[in-house]
Every structure is written in C-alpha cells, then in structure tokens.
Amino acid sequence: MAGNLAGNPRGKSPAATSAPRGEGRRFGVVASRYHEELVERLLAGATDCLREHGVSAEAIEVARVPGAWEIPLALHWMAAGGRFDGLVALGLVLRGETPHFEYVSAECSRGVAAVAERHGLPVGFGVLTCDTLAQAEARAGGEVGNKGLEAALAALEMVDLRHRLAEAG
C-alpha cells in the first residue's frame, strides 16, 4: 500500500507484517551492574535480538553503569557522539521499604525519554521496575519473556521507521 510508512496494510502490528532490519546499523546498549545476574539476562536477550536482525557484533557497543540512576547520562553521552542509530537501556529497580524505588525508577524513565527527545534517537526501554525479585526473574527470560529483547526490538523498529520517514522525504 503506497504511503504506508509503517508497512502495515491491514492494521496489524508492524511485527506481524515485516521484521526490522539491522544490517549496517550501530546500536549502543547501556546496562546497569546493579542486580547484575538479571541484567545480564536482559543484555543477552537484547544482543541476541539485535544479532538475529542483522546487526553485527562489532556494531553493538555495551557500556556498564553502576545502577539505573546513571543510565540516562550514559545514554546521553552515547547519543551525543553521533555514532549510533539506536540505543537500548537495560536495568532493574526493585521496590524496597523506602521511597527510593519511586525516585530512581521515575528519574530513570524520565531521563531515558529526555535523551530520545533531545537527540531524536530511538531508545528502547528495558529497565524493569518490579515489586518483587520473582517479577523481575519472570521478565528477564522467565515465563513473561525477556524485556531486554523487547526493548532491542522496539529500538530496531523505531530505527526502521526513522529511515523510512527520511526516505519518504
């Protein structure tokens, strides 16, 4: 269908009509070291997704940060360098007994969105904000899936959309 930039002739989700292509594209991934075991599972899902869609291993750069609070600044530095087509944020914030969870999760989310807006660069959001460790495990490759993979796929889809919009003029 001419003029359909989403590649979506029947109102289906873009994933149902075409797979995003990563050949020749570069991605930066910022991964928190806090809750490292689970974040590693998110990272594996994200990098596997990027590779399965044609992004070469050499075109994926991973930066480690102490925790979720530091993710937006590292994303900003990556975006400001102009070397990446898209970025992926990976981390985990678990609810505790104090309001710390609300502050960190809200500011991380806000900061990630601000990087995408400021730089006009797709950023996949794979920072889990969970009430329990069991919820996090389920979302880091468990029965609910892998949110790292989903964040990478979202970034790939947005990079594709950006290129289609640019080509359409």
Active site annotation includes 163 = no
**What is the spatial distance between Cα 30 and Cα 17, in angstroms, rounded to a whole number?**
29
Q: How far is CA 59 from the centre of its chain?
A: 15
Question: Which of 46, 51, 17, 52 has the alpha carbon at shortest distance from 141?
Answer: 46
**The pairing of beta strand 27-32 with beta strand 123-130:** unpaired
Active-site residue, selected from the candidate residues 35, 53, 76, 100: 100
CA nearest to 72, candidates 117, 23, 14, 20: 117
By CB neighbour count within 10 A (0-12 exposed, 13-18 middle, 19+ buried), where does 62 fall? middle
Annotated catalytic sites, by residue? 100
